Amino acid sequence: MAETENLLLPLETLDFVVVVFQTLFLAACAGVATENKNISPQIATMAFHFIKNIITLIMQLKKMLLVVVLTILAGVIVFFIIRPKPKKVEMSPVLSPSPTPISVTLATWNDEAGFSFLYPEGITIDKHAEDTVNYANLTFTDKDQGSIDIVMSDNDNTLDKWTNAIDTVLGEKDGKKNMTDTGMTIGVVDNDVLVTLTRTTKLSPLLEAAWQNITDSWKFVYPTPKAAQKTQTTTIEVDGGEVLEEE
């Protein structure tokens, strides 16, 4: 509507100019005819006809201009009404491929050190028979794609140094979980014995399943082995001889 009013404004101004021009011209002609007796009625009539033709022409031009303006305005309105609306392109969400689930057969590991858990068959297990210090020392591997280590020891049987670790639970016992760039370690103290489960960051699908099953099914089997008792040897004399005795 604002555009239409702006277009019609010059037309109203043109009407005003025509009326003013007609009035002034007729007044001037009348005055001249009155003062100058030499002007013939024929000349006056021709002048009036000339003015009339000019006014008619201006009015026709006005109508033509109005028709052109209305035609252009109608064309603009029709263009905006019937023009095709842009279609919305719906982007399908890009779904990251989910890992393919693997079918595994679970076996139960019962350790003499006092714990048990479930693990997938087919994993290579190193019991570290050469280790005579720790109660248990197991390493799980699969095609050189990461490893899982389980150690049960009384060499450092506290979690006091795990200051940056977060709380966790293993085998219904409170423990700590320490995250690093190379992997993760879970630590639990049970009956003065420290149990640690350590994994590397990247694991094969089979080892990933093993880690999940081990941590979910872990159980402490009592009695849990206690710290080894150290013996002390002393020397005493009996009847002039030396005898070794353990206390």
Least confident window among 53-67, 139-153, 156-170: 53-67
Say if residues 171 and 165 touch (Cβ distance below 8 Å).
no
Average pLDDT over residues 133-152: 94
Kindly report the three-state secondary structure assignment for every residue of 121-141: CCCEEECCCCCCCCCEEEEEE
pLDDT given at position 163: 86
Q: How far apart, in Å, do the first and last CA atoms of the chain sit?
A: 112
Nearest to 54 by CA among 25, 28, 96: 25
The better pLDDT of the pair 36, 197 is held by 197
> What confidence tier does 225 reach under pLDDT thresholds 50, 70, 90?
low
Q: Express as a percent the part of the chain with pLDDT over 90.
A: 38
The better pLDDT of the pair 241, 217 is held by 217
**Average pLDDT in the chain:** 76
Average pLDDT over residues 207-236: 71
Least confident window among 52-56, 65-69, 155-159, 214-218: 52-56
Domain 106-220, architecture per CATH = 3-Layer(aba) Sandwich (3.40)
Domain boundaries, the chain: 2-82, 106-220
Least confident window among 60-74, 164-178, 225-239: 225-239
Residues pairing with 197 in the sheet: 150, 186
Nearest to 111 by CA among 149, 140, 138: 138
* CA–CA separation, 74 and 56 (whole Å): 27
The better pLDDT of the pair 99, 234 is held by 99
* 218 has a pLDDT exceeding 60: yes
The better pLDDT of the pair 73, 126 is held by 126
Say if residues 33 and 39 touch (Cβ distance below 8 Å).
yes
Say if residues 206 and 166 touch (Cβ distance below 8 Å).
no
The better pLDDT of the pair 204, 3 is held by 204
Average pLDDT over residues 126-154: 94
pLDDT of 37-68, one tens digit each? 555 666 656 666 777 777 777 777 777 877 78
Average pLDDT over residues 116-142: 94
The better pLDDT of the pair 175, 86 is held by 175
